[in-house]
Structure 1
């Protein structure tokens, strides 16, 4: 492998430093306390209103509509927990941690400790083989090597058809998110505030189950939980899927500077204010990866600044429409599932070699 020239590394580092200065000068890293306090107050109020409505409506199949509404509410609250975990809300790390614990564990039922550990690794090396847990999925193969290792039995059949099954599989994501968090909290490895998470998850998950079966008859209760968990997982899945899947996969041994590592492996989703709200700001994935602590409402304003800078530096900046992003993802994982080795054009390696050669 070609060794990068030290001047190339210094130049690449200064590339991001210059961008960071532009963003800082624009004031887009300032806190948005009013915005977030409004959301922090509304989140439990809206959730409480939904639960009151659930009790008042009583034992009826109309509760499946309530289940769908709760799936949306839980996902929107999870987006708020994501912001807190990235230190977007408060300057104090402890305040952000406690917001994440309350919002994630107590309101949504997802372990903050599990998610933080996994998500930090993803942000450090998006789409890098052996480093990014988001491309090591239990059912869907995101890399050609993963598809090759698993091509046997029922799982092999699923992966061979994973392009067709991608969206139906997302209906199981809600169960997976809850189960992964419980598994992490239950393990003996070190976990900060373990007993807080145990208490919050117990209250949220068991309390919700008890409430559902107290209000609803068994048949309606199981249907309600299936709809709520299925749509919650589906919504979470379609919010995160467009961000990186179908973008270049970084080989294990390749090292990229921060700017290119974050921009070239990420994809933005265009669509205006509606998509901003629908995806909780995750549609500005490039901006979020470059500046994880930037408050969500500033991402829209940062996007044109960062896009223009990337054009100046010759760094590919990808932004597509919402439905186009899903088409790209499905087409990509379908090709992986069918066993194609070269499932993407590889401008990444060529550009890296060009950068080195230019030094």
Structure 2
């Protein structure tokens, strides 16, 4: 593999974006919101979510039935891969529930969210919602967005210069290690879910913990009941590894390689969300694969907007941004990964140069 990754020259990466100011008394976001509301794009879509949830739950139940029906065979590894997709779709459902795209009220959203995330997926709804809320408030902010904290990877050259320990070791070749590291993301989600139960910010830790324990007891119990130990371990390894890859491939294109917001940078709400987000083209297949998160600009502007409305919302937002001279960025799925790797390679330069 070459030591250089592609760079992108047309991705908005500086703060000098706004060239036209809103009219006095009316923000750009308020005017865009009125356009969305006029077309009913913020209205609930109960039929869509009923069908979507039903299909995912049917696939979920069918997968566990197939586990026992197939029996002692290495074909189970194919089922493990298929179930990784199903689990990731359950996680995407949890995401929509957390944003109240399905129910307008908090209580049914939390009940359904904990069932989907904790019980079916094995991920803490409360932990993830807390982290994701902070991300939405400050996307790609070097100091405030937990998704770009320099934990193992570094996301800016400033982070690279200050990196130490594991982040500094990995940062030298983090572009090459990005996809291999995603193989561990499923385990990382489970680890952080249990660790968060001790956090003072966790609501209902006993309930969340009980649901997580119930999930993993049923999960490990079913796999080891259906398969001999060797095949069971292989099934679990493939399943967890591919969950991590799928989740990483869905969420990484949304912001990685886009504008990094630094302390002191002044952006209004609309520009902060648009300039730090990347949309991914691809039609119905990509829409389904990414659960609508390929419309990341619109999702960040209107988090409670139902998934099926995002395509039309993208058309309106794209036109609005053109009117206001606001850079609006979208690429194909493969191009997005190429840009992510290029960004990771560039941000690791201070570590390589120091060495």
What's the TM-score once normalised by structure 1's chain length? 0.89
Gapped regions of structure 1 (runs ≥ 5):
1-7, 342-359
1:45 corresponds, among 49, 58, 66, to 58
**Partner secondary structure for residue 320 of structure 1:** strand
Contact 2:138 2:144 in 1 (8 A): yes
The reply to whether residue 24 of structure 1 matches residue 37 of structure 2 is yes
Task: Please show how residues 18-97 of structure 1 align to structure 2 within 5 Å.
Answer: 18-97=31-110
Cα RMSD of the aligned pairs, angstroms, is 1.9
1:246 aligns with 2:257: yes
Name the counterpart of 2:184.
172
Structure with more of its chain in helix, by fraction: 1
Decide which of 171, 183, 196 is 1:184's aligned counterpart: 196
Tell me whether 1:214 sits opposite 2:259 in the alignment.
no
Q: Deviations over 1:153-210 (max 9, x none)?
A: x65332111111111111111111111111102x151422222211211111122012
Alignment partner, residue 161 of structure 1: 173
1:198 equivalent in alignment to 2:198: no
Report how many residues are paired: 333
Moved more, 102-111 or 198-207: 198-207
Residue in 1 that maps onto 2:345: 334
Structure 2 segments unaligned to the other structure (5+ residues): 1-20
Q: CA deviation at 1:44?
A: 2.5
- In 1, the alpha carbon distance for the partners of 2:212 and 2:281 equals 35
Pick from 132, 135, 142 the counterpart of residue 119 of structure 1.
132
Deviations 1:224-257 (A, max 9, x none): 1110000000000000000101011111122311
Counterpart check, 1:108 vs 2:121: yes
Moved more, 88-97 or 187-196: 187-196
- For residues 279-320 of structure 1, the C-alpha deviation after alignment (integer angstroms, 9 at most, x for no partner) is 110100000000000000100111010000011111110001
Pick closer, same or farther for the CA change 1:224–1:22 going to 2, 3 Å. Answer: same
Structure 2 CA distance for partners of 1:308 and 1:37, relative to 1, 3 Å: same
Q: 1:289 to 1:214 in 2, by over 3 A?
A: same
Pair 312,10 (structure 1): closer, same or farther in 2 beyond 3 Å: closer
Name the structure 2 match of 1:142. 155
Q: 8 Å contact 2:254–2:293 — kept in the other structure?
A: yes
The separation in 1 between residues aligned to 2:183 and 2:34, in whole angstroms, is 42
Residues 12, 259 of structure 1: 8 Å contact kept: no
Aligned residues of 1:262 and 1:286 also touching (Cα < 8 A): yes
Q: Are the structure 2 counterparts of residues 13 and 333 from structure 1 closer, same or farther at C-alpha, using a change threshold of 3 Å?
A: farther
